[in-house]
């Protein structure tokens, strides 16, 4: 009898522990997830301001953005789950009543059938422990998919589009980030920082080449904020990539002159300034500027930040290599870099399916000014990833550069393939449009170029150029 009294008492305590929280679900008011979400949004905004002011470099801010984006998505999910819990339902009360009846009945019935109260207790040390179940935290990729679904239901959510764009950028999915940036700009066209980030995304999506669309985005930024360092850097880089070394040197030098003391981006700009100076025979900046400048070019540094081209730590130059290179003459430094590139090329002979390795090698040959070798590396990368738009675009640019900035049958074929994969790609629309015109297909060419025109911001030089081409075709 005493045994059953204890059993009933324990059942009563267990029911209280289960039922009391259930009865209070509807009394929940507010939750910490909402507060967390606001804090994370404020942190993202603060990062943008720090980058704009020069307190942080984009590479330093990117890692923080990734973590903040992950936390913000988790907070958003928690908030939605709590909101669902706060909704009162009639079935909830029925469940509480049924629980109060069924738990004791089932427990007592089961114990009556299978219980052995006469057996002594089993020592804890001799019990067979069940394996522990550990929860697998949701990764940022899963949360990005969830945010995408939410934005389909609420496409006017500006902060959601910005968060999605930056999250995709942080994941290295540069091409997928572009539509998200474009949606955000459609909701806030005057957001200069957002447009600058969009330009940078275009640069990354194009294999680290400043495309006409990226140039247009940065020019739009400078129309509003003429001293914005990121836009000035990429426009100077565009001149460098186009072979306009004098203009690039002057642009980089002006950024150095305007940079605040200790600006984190200063070493990168100084390295580019001196690189252009060597090409045009101008004096380099004095040693006091370059004593901490990395020997690697900004393109190589950007490779290390990009998820698609990040080299393995054991394969790249060490800190000692970089310090040694900084003290070398231009010819010795180039020789050292060429040695590292040769080691990479030799490794790829043994590991021919390393796509990232081939892209690194192609980029290295581009920096060294060896287009024929760059072409071979890109062709290998293209074979390994025939549907990779970034590789196809870079392959087409390399073909045109080797032909004196003229289109070839191979470069046109590459751009047509890009349009097959992405019918809205701006660069491919313009180039295939021009190719159609040259082949006498005027209407087809105009149609493609009008699609490109719709993607360019109003008032930019690139838009005016495309519009003039279309206007000239109308007269034919």
Closest CA to 418 of 440, 401, 433: 433
Cα dihedral sign, 467-470-474-476: positive
> Which part of the chain is CATH 1.25.40?
31-85+141-189, 205-283
What's the mean per-residue pLDDT of the chain? 72
Cα distance between residue 66 and residue 188, in whole Å:
22
Which pLDDT score is estimated for 338? Answer: 76
Closest CA to 179 of 146, 143, 152: 152
pLDDT at 113 > cutoff 90: no
Start-to-end C-alpha separation, the chain: 106
pLDDT in tens, 197-210: 999 999 988 888 89
Which pLDDT score is estimated for 57? Answer: 55
Closest CA to 212 of 449, 471, 474, 419: 449
Closest CA to 184 of 165, 211, 212, 206: 165
CATH class of 205-283: mainly alpha
What is the CB-side half-sphere exposure of residue 412 using CA atoms within 13 A? 12
CATH architecture of the domain 31-85+141-189 equals Alpha Horseshoe (1.25)
User: Taking a C-beta distance cutoff of 8 angstroms, is the pair 356, 310 a contact?
Assistant: yes
User: Taking a C-beta distance cutoff of 8 angstroms, is the pair 57, 302 a contact?
Assistant: no
State phi, psi for 321 to the nearest 5 degrees. -60, -45
| Local confidence band at 247 (pLDDT 50, 70, 90 cut-offs) | very high
Q: How far is CA 65 from the centre of its chain?
A: 10
pLDDT in tens, 129-156: 333 333 333 456 777 888 888 888 888 9
Q: What percent of the chain has pLDDT over 70?
A: 58
The stretch 420-438 carries a mean pLDDT of 89
Cα distance between residue 429 and residue 427, in whole Å:
5
Residue tagged 């090329």 (tokens): 345
Residue tagged 């949004």 (tokens): 41
Closest CA to 241 of 416, 394, 462: 394
pLDDT in tens, 407-418: 999 999 999 999
Which pLDDT score is estimated for 316? Answer: 42
The stretch 118-136 carries a mean pLDDT of 35
Cα distance between residue 306 and residue 221, in whole Å:
24
pLDDT in tens, 16-72: 655 555 554 444 444 445 545 555 555 565 565 555 545 455 555 665 666 666 555
- Which pTM was predicted? 0.41
pLDDT in tens, 324-349: 555 556 666 667 677 778 888 889 98
| Local confidence band at 441 (pLDDT 50, 70, 90 cut-offs) | very high
CA angle (169, 209, 338) in 5-degree steps: 105
């Amino acid at each position: 009898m005493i045994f059953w009294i204890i059993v009933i008492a324990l059942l009563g305590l267990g029911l209280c522990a289960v039922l009391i929280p259930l009865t209070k679900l509807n009394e929940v008011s507010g939750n910490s997830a909402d507060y967390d979400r606001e804090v994370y949004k404020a942190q993202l905004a603060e990062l943008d301001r720090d980058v704009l002011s020069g307190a942080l470099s984009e590479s330093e801010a990117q890692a923080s953005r990734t973590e903040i984006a992950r936390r913000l998505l988790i907070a958003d999910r928690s908030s939605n789950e709590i909101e669902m819990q706060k909704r009162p339902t009639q079935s909830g009360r029925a469940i509480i009543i049924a629980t109060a009846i069924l738990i004791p009945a089932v427990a007592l019935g089961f114990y009556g059938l299978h219980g052995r109260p006469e057996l002594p207790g089993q020592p804890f040390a001799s019990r067979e422990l069940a394996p522990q179940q550990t929860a697998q935290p949701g990764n940022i990729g899963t949360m990005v998919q969830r945010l995408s679904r939410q934005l389909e239901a609420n496409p006017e959510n500006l902060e959601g589009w910005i968060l999605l764009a930056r999250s995709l950028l942080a994941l290295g999915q540069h091409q997928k980030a572009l539509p998200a940036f474009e949606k955000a700009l459609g909701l806030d066209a005057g957001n200069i920082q957002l447009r600058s980030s969009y330009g940078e995304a275009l640069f990354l999506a194009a294999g680290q080449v400043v495309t006409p669309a990226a140039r247009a985005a940065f020019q739009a930024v400078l129309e509003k904020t003429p001293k914005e360092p990121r836009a000035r850097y990429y426009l100077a880089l565009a001149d460098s990539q186009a072979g306009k070394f004098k203009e690039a040197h002057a642009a980089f030098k002006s950024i150095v002159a305007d940079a605040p003391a200790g600006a984190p981006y200063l070493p990168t700009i100084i390295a580019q300034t001196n690189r252009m100076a060597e090409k045009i025979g101008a004096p380099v900046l004095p040693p006091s500027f370059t004593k901490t400048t990395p020997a690697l070019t900004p393109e190589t540094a950007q490779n290390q930040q990009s998820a698609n081209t990040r080299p393995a730590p054991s394969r790249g130059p060490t800190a000692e290599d970089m310090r040694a290179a900084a003290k070398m003459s231009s010819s010795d430094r180039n020789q050292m870099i060429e040695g590292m590139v040769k080691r990479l090329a030799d490794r790829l002979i043994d590991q021919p399916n390393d796509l990232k390795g081939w892209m690194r090698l192609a980029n290295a040959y581009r920096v060294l000014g060896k287009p024929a070798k760059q072409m071979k590396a890109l062709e290998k990368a293209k074979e390994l990833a025939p549907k990779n738009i970034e590789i196809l675009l870079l392959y087409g640019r390399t073909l045109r550069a080797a032909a004196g900035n003229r289109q070839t049958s191979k470069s046109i074929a590459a751009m047509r393939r890009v349009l097959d994969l992405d019918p809205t790609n701006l660069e491919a629309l313009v180039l295939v449009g021009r190719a159609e015109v040259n082949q006498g297909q005027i209407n087809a060419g105009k149609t493609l170029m009008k699609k490109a025109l719709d993607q360019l911001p109003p008032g930019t030089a690139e838009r005016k150029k495309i519009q003039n081409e279309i206007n000239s075709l109308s007269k034919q």
